Amino acid sequence: MILDSPRLPIWGRTLVDEEKIIEQLDLIRLSLPEAFREADAIARHKEEIFLEAEQYAQEIIETADRRAAQIMNESGIVRQAEMQAQQIRQRVQQECESIREQTIAEIDRMRRQAQQELEEMQRMALAECEQIQAGADDYADRTLQEMEMQMAEMLRIIRNGRQQIQVDSTVRRDPGMPQRR
């Protein structure tokens, strides 16, 4: 944007379109909520995974219960069927707990990463704003300094002109003085 902006050859400066810079800053500001939306989507995805895991566990338990009932009916060994069902339940609960812990860890990692990216984007936006402000301050200072020098030169010319007028009017008032031509 700066390279494409028009240059002022007299001062060696570039004019930057304030509205375009503000638009760019707005785009940065608007992109920050996207990171929050992504984190929210991840949290919702976690809930879906938990529901799926619970549903999966329920299906395994129901399958185990059916199998245990079948074994009991076929062989009459109730105790063995109950032990197997209990082991399956424990294994499913362990798997669910493991999946839950992994999901929570992944969500926390993604949340931290999103937070770091957000903070980095904020730091970059602030640094860019400070650079723009410093550039604008430098430009204004140089412009005012050049104007001051030009006005000082104009003031010097005006004083010289007034002195010349005073000398000329003194000469015209005193007829005994030789006149300059």
In a domain, 15, yes or no: yes
**Which pLDDT score, from 0 to 100, does residue 143 have?**
94
Q: What is the pLDDT of residues 20-39, one digit of tens each?
A: 888 887 887 777 667 667 76
In a domain, 1, yes or no: no
Tokens of 99: 């999946």
pLDDT greater than 90 at residue 154: yes
> For the chain, what is the mean pLDDT?
84
How far apart (Å, rounded) are the C-alpha atoms in residues 5 and 21? 11
Contact 104, 50 (CB under 8 A): no
In a domain, 178, yes or no: no
In a domain, 179, yes or no: no
In a domain, 133, yes or no: yes
Determine the structural domain holding residue 79 and report its residue range: 7-173
Could you tell me the pTM of the whole model? 0.35
Q: What is the pLDDT of residues 42-66, one digit of tens each?
A: 878 878 887 888 888 888 888 888 8
* Number of domains within the chain: 1
φ and ψ of 177, to 5 deg: -85, 145
